Amino acid sequence: MQLIDGKSLANKVQTNVSSEVEQLKLEKNIVPGLAVILIGDDPASHAYVKMKAKACEKVGFYSITHNMPDTISQDEIIATIDMMNKNPRIDGILVQLPLPKHVDTDKILEVIDPKKDVDGFHAYNVGRLVTNLDSFVACTPLGVMKMFEEYEIELQGQDVCVVGASNIVGKPMASLLLNADATVTITHIHTKDLKAHTSKADIIVVGVGVPGLIKEDMVKEGAIVIDIGINRIADGSLVGDVDFDNVSKKCSYITPVPGGVGPMTIAMLLSNTLKAAKART
């Protein structure tokens, strides 16, 4: 069993981004800029945004966070995004999810200029991903693909089971795998017999937010398991969606939680923002 070390790979990506930022400054006098909209007081959202801001500073980006109360109107959020769409210093716009219930998330995401949609959630970029055209891709699935590349894990012809069908993780993950010529099964909350699908898979990618969902008897010998889930349990520790201690014994490769996919999400956000900055006209 080999651990897939997302933390060291993320550091490697950030080092590469940092050197490219220096080059971009020297050659074109461009400093990549990322703007974040953060609404409300959710502690997890504030923690994520703080980590993103720290990562931006580390690689030499310009970054700004718009902190808004959860009582803010949808029109005010849209006006702020419109302002950032027009700001030439801003290459990437990120709206931290989830949003308050009175806000239409789909509407907000569609207002972002697709060229600045570094989260890869805009319908334009989703459509380009599905048709295997160059696009901005959701950061977590993109990070998983980077892991496969780094560890030279062959995807062509492999049976892959994606557990979870969210727009943020499951669906873009499945599209990326299909584009890499894997045979993909997508399972979700209404799937009748999850084990019947996972037990046949060469690769399992799970991200649903259910601690220990994937058990040892649901995984075949030698499988590769990518655990995107991150859950805080009663004792305060962080665990994934996989029963790591038991499942890892059967795996050829597995990601730990924490230290697996998590760090790659922010690394890919930096990579996407750099890509947007390079495309400035």
The predicted-structure confidence for 177-209, as pLDDT tens digits, reads as follows 999 999 999 999 999 999 999 999 999 999 999
The pLDDT of residue 114: 98
> What tokens were used for 48?
């994520």
Average pLDDT over residues 65-85: 96
DSSP type of residue 214: B
Question: Could you tell me the CATH number of the domain that includes residue 188?
Answer: 3.40.50.720
- The span from the CA of 244 to the CA of 139, in Å, is 24
The pLDDT of residue 42: 87
Average pLDDT over residues 119-133: 97
Provide the mean pLDDT of the chain. Answer: 96
- The verdict on residue 197 lying in a domain is yes
The pLDDT of residue 43: 87
The number of folded domains in the chain is 2
Q: Are residues 222 and 177 in the same domain?
A: yes
Q: Are residues 191 and 249 in the same domain?
A: yes
119 is catalytic: yes
Query: What pLDDT digit, counting tens, does each position of 86-117 carry?
Result: 999 999 999 999 999 999 999 999 999 999 99
2 is catalytic: no
| 258 upstream amide cis, omega within 30 of 0 | yes
The pLDDT of residue 24: 96
> What tokens were used for 40?
């409300």
The pLDDT of residue 236: 86
Cβ contact 98:111 at 8 Å = no
Q: Are residues 145 and 234 in the same domain?
A: yes
Average pLDDT over residues 121-138: 97
> What tokens were used for 80?
């702020």
Query: What pLDDT digit, counting tens, does each position of 3-36 carry?
Result: 999 999 999 999 999 999 999 999 999 999 999 9
Q: Are residues 258 and 147 in the same domain?
A: yes
Q: What is the CA radius of gyration of the chain?
A: 19
Which of 52, 115, 116, 146 is catalytic? The answer is 52
Q: Is it the case that residue 44 has pLDDT exceeding 90?
A: no
- The verdict on residue 5 lying in a domain is no
Which of 96, 117, 171, 241 is catalytic? The answer is 96
Q: Are residues 71 and 100 in the same domain?
A: yes
- The verdict on residue 246 lying in a domain is yes
Other beta carbons within 10 Å of 164: 24
Average pLDDT over residues 35-55: 93
- The span from the CA of 277 to the CA of 91, in Å, is 5
Residue 122's contacts (CB-CB under 8 Å, 6 or more residues apart) are 109, 110, 112, 114, 136
Q: Is 279 exposed, middle or buried (0-12, 13-18, 19+ CB in 10 A)?
A: exposed
- The verdict on residue 15 lying in a domain is no
The pLDDT of residue 281: 63
52 is catalytic: yes
Average pLDDT over residues 54-76: 96
Alpha carbons within 13 A on the beta-carbon side of 250 = 20
For strand 33-39 and strand 62-68, is the pairing parallel, antiparallel, or unpaired? Answer: parallel
* Percent share of the chain, pLDDT over 90: 95
Q: Are residues 61 and 164 in the same domain?
A: no
Residue 61 backbone zone (phi > 0: left; psi -120 to 50: alpha; other: beta): beta
Cβ contact 240:231 at 8 Å = yes
Which of 119, 227, 241, 243 is catalytic? The answer is 119
Domain that holds residue 43: 29-119
